[in-house]
């Protein structure tokens, strides 16, 4: 079994947030992901990469890149938004399936609730009532079921800072309320730490329910500063709380060893969340992150 290593447009500062414009043409990002030693990629925000598989797949093939998934945010706390979220997930899923991907990374529409955005990294427990959790989980189950029936893809849910599923308690609540056959966990190691948890403990707790990995580190000193200064999610990202792999507190050797012991032979996607004006910084970080993982045997 071999864990394969990928990267994603977010490592080049390509976000879903409408007020953050991409600083690179997609061809440069694809070139630099391949150049720095990765063999897989996520789609990024809808419309950043070509959405016609006849255009996208040749772009990926000529660089030796496999399309793996796409991050799909949905306002899951609002039942009236579930149908629109399902339709978007199906649209994305058809592109993914046509390009050989296997999963959709479903998430809350993180960053769009001002108090959650402001309190990211400092919350405890859960922000939702039991009734709200029922609505939220029903939306996840609904979308997961339709996506699997229509395009054959599985859903992995991404706990994420600045959303309703940020803390370990919120992650547990979501997993307890969703169909384990259809909904796995996308464990984002950096977000889990910034949200107050320990990613290795999450792997030990959820075992084979962890079906997808986002590898991200978290600098404990910067995290402490962000909490003390009450920085919001974007300010924390700009401050560098998600540092390069091996420079923070996430125990990657133990996590990857534990995942292999569980029989995981999928992908691990490096995500170096950045907001920088240095256009060459993402490429350099991507190369250093890849070298770090090679030293661990991946």
**Which residues on adjacent β-strands are paired with residue 212?**
186
Other C-beta atoms lying within 10 Å of the C-beta of residue 138: 15
Q: What is the pLDDT of residue 23?
A: 81
- Top-confidence residue, 16 or 184: 184
% of residues, the chain, pLDDT over 70: 98
Q: For residue 294, what are its two tokens? A: 């090679």
Is the alpha carbon torsion for 255, 8, 114, 276 positive or negative?
Answer: positive
Least confident of 16-25, 56-65, 213-222, 235-244: 16-25
Q: What is the H or E stretch that residue 121 is in?
A: none
Are 42 and 68 in contact by the 8 Å Cβ rule? The answer is yes
Ramachandran angles phi, psi of 272, nearest 5°: -105, 80
- Across residues 52-70, what is the average pLDDT? 98
Tell me how far apart the alpha carbons of residues 102 and 104 are, in angstroms, rounded to a whole number: 7
1 pLDDT tier (thresholds 50, 70, 90): low
Q: What is the per-residue pLDDT across 241-252, written as a single tens digit (0 to 9) for each?
A: 999 999 999 999
pTM for this predicted structure: 0.95
Residue from 236, 273, 292, 267 nearest 12 by CA: 273
Which CATH number, 3.30.470.20, 3.40.50.740, 3.20.20.150, 3.40.50.1980, labels domain 4-295? 3.20.20.150
Q: What is the pLDDT of residue 13?
A: 86
Are 137 and 174 in contact by the 8 Å Cβ rule? The answer is yes
Determine the 3-state secondary structure of 235 from DSSP. helix
For the chain, count helices (H), then strands (E): 12, 9
- Strands (E) in the chain, as ranges, are 4-7, 40-42, 66-69, 71-74, 103-108, 154-158, 183-188, 210-215, 267-270
Q: What is the per-residue pLDDT across 268-281, written as a single tens digit (0 to 9) for each?
A: 999 987 777 778 99
Domain boundaries of the chain, sorted by first residue: 4-295
Report the half-sphere exposure of 36 (CA within 13 A, side-chain side).
29
pLDDT greater than 80 at residue 256: yes
Q: What is the pLDDT of residue 273?
A: 77
DSSP 201: H
2 pLDDT tier (thresholds 50, 70, 90): confident
pLDDT greater than 90 at residue 69: yes
pLDDT greater than 80 at residue 76: yes
Q: What is the pLDDT of residue 272?
A: 85
Q: For residue 64, what are its two tokens? A: 């030796």
Paired sense of beta strands 103-108 and 71-74, if any: parallel
Are 63 and 34 in contact by the 8 Å Cβ rule? The answer is yes
- Across residues 12-16, what is the average pLDDT? 84
Q: What is the pLDDT of residue 279?
A: 86
Q: What is the per-residue pLDDT across 94-131, written as a single tens digit (0 to 9) for each?
A: 999 999 998 999 999 998 899 999 999 999 989 999 99
Q: How far apart are the first and last CA of the chain?
A: 11
Q: What is the per-residue pLDDT across 139-183, written as a single tens digit (0 to 9) for each?
A: 999 999 999 999 999 999 999 999 999 999 999 999 999 999 999
């Amino acid at each position: 079994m071999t864990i394969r290593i990928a990267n994603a447009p977010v490592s080049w500062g390509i976000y879903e947030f409408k007020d953050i414009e991409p600083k690179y043409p997609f061809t440069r990002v694809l070139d630099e992901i391949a150049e720095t030693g990765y063999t897989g990629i996520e789609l990024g925000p809808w419309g950043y990469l070509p959405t016609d598989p006849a255009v996208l797949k040749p772009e990926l093939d000529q660089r030796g890149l496999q399309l793996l998934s796409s991050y799909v945010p949905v306002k899951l706390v609002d039942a009236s938004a579930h149908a629109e979220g399902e339709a978007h997930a199906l649209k994305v899923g058809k592109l993914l399936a046509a390009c050989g991907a296997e999963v959709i990374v479903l998430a809350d529409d993180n960053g769009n609730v001002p108090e959650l955005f402001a309190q990211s990294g400092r919350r405890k427990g859960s922000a939702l009532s039991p009734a709200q959790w029922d609505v939220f989980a029903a939306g996840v189950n609904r979308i997961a079921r339709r996506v699997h029936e229509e395009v054959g893809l599985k859903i992995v849910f991404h706990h994420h800072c600045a959303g309703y599923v940020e803390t370990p308690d919120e992650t547990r609540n979501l997993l307890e309320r969703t169909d384990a056959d259809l909904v796995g966990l996308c464990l984002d190691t950096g977000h889990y730490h910034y949200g107050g948890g320990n990613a290795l403990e999450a792997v030990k707790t959820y075992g084979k329910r962890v079906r997808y990995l986002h590898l991200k580190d978290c600098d404990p000193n910067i995290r402490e500063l962000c909490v003390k200064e009450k920085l919001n999610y974007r300010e924390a990202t700009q401050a560098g709380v998600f540092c390069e792999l091996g420079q923070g507190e996430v125990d990657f050797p133990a996590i990857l060893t534990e995942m292999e012991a569980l029989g995981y032979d999928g992908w691990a996607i490096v995500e170096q969340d950045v907001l920088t004006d240095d256009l060459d910084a993402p490429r350099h970080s991507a190369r250093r992150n890849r070298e770090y993982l090679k030293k661990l045997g991946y």
